[in-house]
Structure 1
């Protein structure tokens, strides 16, 4: 295949770093055009030097001089601010945009890239949770393919490659169950952030690891799957699979089920997305089925993990409600990581704010940004009230 020029939005985060690991193994196939990060200028400068990135953007404008000084003597041009990110992703020198920024902040640059007709390797699920209808509409209008980087959605995408027509009976999204799968509700309620950050199978960033612990991540993946695969939510099922070997399954109307299996390694779906339609060699741990032994499945316990129910309610109501849920959850997870609210405070805040959001059936881009801002502010007030109670 021809060499592809990559922009990585969020290069210092977990997905960004693993994307660079993939590129490191295939320097003949990929070139780094753009790196961006929120504030970790030192790490991004090291990345830019190693991969000879043409451009690097620090979103925190106060750290521009630090980045610029660190890149002195290189060919990498330094920029600052979200506007620079949105401008540079539209460059003719960018072929693929790896959207790996955390949270709602990833929406604007992803939309800019879609508007320029770029191939999107989407790791930022909040983009589709908050603005699925708008984003998928833009994807079709500007002929900008969206390839999923989430392991589950990558698995579904691969399982659907042989699908014909409307033959899908059910999509089964697998979930590890997180670190608290076997805990009772009383024990979970007292869980500290250090406990919640110990995911049994995956190495991820802090925010998504907490979302996995509450199972909000899986709820968001239901919403993401609804938009990515244009599938009614009634056909999307969540099943707990603690081993994280089967990354998802597609059940067809004739009863056949096609599953995608692989070791839990995010480099595999990242590489699949940026290399598609080719499959490139990956130096990872291959499955040994004899050694693997048994695998297990369980229904999710929505009493212990109410976030999953909240997500289903949000997408069933539709409109701007998933955006409200995402905004409130984002604020609540940040507060939990700051030890300001207890574990179940996350879903309490998210659920209350979702119910308070004024409903907009067909939100515009402006409506989405307004809903996010207003709901985030409401969540902050509720968090403050919880924190004062102690």
Structure 2
């Protein structure tokens, strides 16, 4: 559904700047005069990247670049002016922090479109007015009247309103719109379609929606050009930055850190009677309810292991998870010479968001830094796989590949909703997910995997999980944006 007013200017808060089109810069040292004609020829041949390294001019020694590589920049844009950005999930945790970053850096970023589910209309309208966006989108069509009313109140009588998109395809439409970067901050596998749309349209994808990569890994890899995806998860943004110190051929293992969540140190028996409120009390991060419960079960960490494998093309047996209660070190890379590069900041998602939106440039003062003159304790512990079996199960489904990760993720989403609704105890979340994965059996795999295959697997997993948990509604009845 589209509600399109007459064309309008962006208003005084968003001065016009040259439209940014995808192009490829000449490599360092090349004739700058070649950046137009020859770049067009390279695009026709499918080349969309500029080398930024690696160190000492070495090659990786690997057959193909990984999905995420700090040494490669997809279609960098020359010239002055802010990057045009679309934010999917603007009223959620990632979206609101991204907007805070944008408002503090108007010379770097300009938001052209916002998408939200439709549950926080007043906030969405306020965001649209402050950012002077061209387009506002809501997943729920029934939210359009309230959105139009809220926009009118924000803009004032007689002021032209932004274009309104609504319905299940709104996110996909907005992701493919004319912009430089799409920040996908939607929660859940419903983020797959806009992820694919952004990649197919040639946009740089700042990816916070890990589920779209996990459930549609082969589909994402088939569309993405090297360097086109910039990870926004704190752990993967950390790995991305640490990898700049070497190459994938130099990597011995990836070390992904976990806070341990609110139940760190408890045994499986001690977790039997924990409540929803207990699970939502994360000790170090402020996040939305779904990801917070996923952090309590450590499903989120399991998903991040699969994500690390897909982003960096590192085998599962070389991806380690360690518990780090302080959440200061977000991930580490151990290199073959025995050295380890760690990325550390106080827990604040504005840092990873700034990497996603600004790379290869860094955004000054994006997030707080450490005061290194003050002593602090940094601890690291092994993961208790008995109390938290989710990480090993995630490794298993990641190795199965195909539709198995989609089944794992869909079953977990349904179980989280059942737990939040009081229909399922905490320990039964992973017990139920494990059963659904086992019943799914051998997944459809290989290059023949399609979007309908993923959707069919998800539909089956959701229905089966609802049968096992006694639910009557689906966890994805509405977009979590």
What is the TM-score normalised by the length of structure 1?
A: 0.95
- 2:250 & 2:123 partners in 1: Cα distance? 47
Mean Cα displacement is larger for which, 282-291 or 351-360? 282-291
Q: Which consecutive residues of structure 1, in runs of 5 or more, have no partner in the other structure?
A: none
- Whether the 8 Å contact between 1:172 and 1:249 is mirrored in structure 2 is yes
Q: Among 348, 352, 367, which residue is 1:269 paired with? A: 352
SS across alignment from 2:347: coil
Q: Which consecutive residues of structure 2, in runs of 5 or more, have no partner in the other structure?
A: 1-79, 153-158, 473-481
- Whether the 8 Å contact between 1:171 and 1:250 is mirrored in structure 2 is yes
- 1:256 & 1:357 partners in 2: Cα distance? 42
- How do residues 31-180 of structure 1 correspond to structure 2 at under 5 angstroms? 31-39=110-118, 40-72=120-152, 73-92=159-178, 94-140=179-225, 145-164=228-247, 166-180=249-263
How many angstroms does 1:144 deviate by?
A: 6.9
- 1:186 & 1:45 partners in 2: Cα distance? 47
Matching residue of 1:18: 97
1:340/1:165 CA distance change after superposition, 3 Å: closer
SS across alignment from 2:470: helix
- Whether the 8 Å contact between 1:49 and 1:74 is mirrored in structure 2 is no
- 1:144 & 1:306 partners in 2: Cα distance? 33
Mean Cα displacement is larger for which, 42-51 or 11-20? 42-51
Matching residue of 1:361: 445
How many angstroms does 1:74 deviate by?
A: 4.5
CA RMSD of aligned residues (A): 1.6
- 2:171 & 2:263 partners in 1: Cα distance? 38
- 1:19 & 1:353 partners in 2: Cα distance? 36
Runs of 4+, deviation exceeding 6 Å: none
1:385/1:53 CA distance change after superposition, 3 Å: closer
Mean Cα displacement is larger for which, 68-77 or 296-305? 68-77
1:306/1:144 CA distance change after superposition, 3 Å: same
Mean Cα displacement is larger for which, 72-81 or 352-361? 72-81
Matching residue of 1:190: 273
Deviation digits for residues 170-213 of structure 1 (CA, Å, limit 9, x no counterpart): 00000000000022322211111111001110111100000000
Q: In proportion to residue count, which structure has more helix?
A: 1
Mean Cα displacement is larger for which, 167-176 or 69-78? 69-78
1:292/1:106 CA distance change after superposition, 3 Å: farther
- 1:129 & 1:85 partners in 2: Cα distance? 19
Relative contact order: is structure 1 or structure 2 higher (C-alpha 8 Å, sep ≥ 6)?
Answer: 2
| 2:462 corresponds to 1:382 | no
Structure number, greater radius of gyration = 2
SS across alignment from 2:176: coil
Matching residue of 1:2: 81
* Corresponding residue pairs, total: 383
1:297/1:144 CA distance change after superposition, 3 Å: closer
- 1:165 & 1:242 partners in 2: Cα distance? 28
Matching residue of 2:107: 28
- 1:58 & 1:65 partners in 2: Cα distance? 11
Matching residue of 1:303: 386
Matching residue of 1:232: 315
- Whether the 8 Å contact between 2:207 and 2:232 is mirrored in structure 1 is yes
How many angstroms does 1:82 deviate by?
A: 2.4
Deviation digits for residues 225-266 of structure 1 (CA, Å, limit 9, x no counterpart): 000111111110001111111110001111111111111000
How many angstroms does 1:54 deviate by?
A: 1.1
- Whether the 8 Å contact between 2:354 and 2:366 is mirrored in structure 1 is no
- Whether the 8 Å contact between 2:424 and 2:469 is mirrored in structure 1 is yes
Matching residue of 1:322: 405
How many angstroms does 1:283 deviate by?
A: 5.5
- 1:187 & 1:161 partners in 2: Cα distance? 42
- 1:152 & 1:26 partners in 2: Cα distance? 24
1:32/1:385 CA distance change after superposition, 3 Å: closer
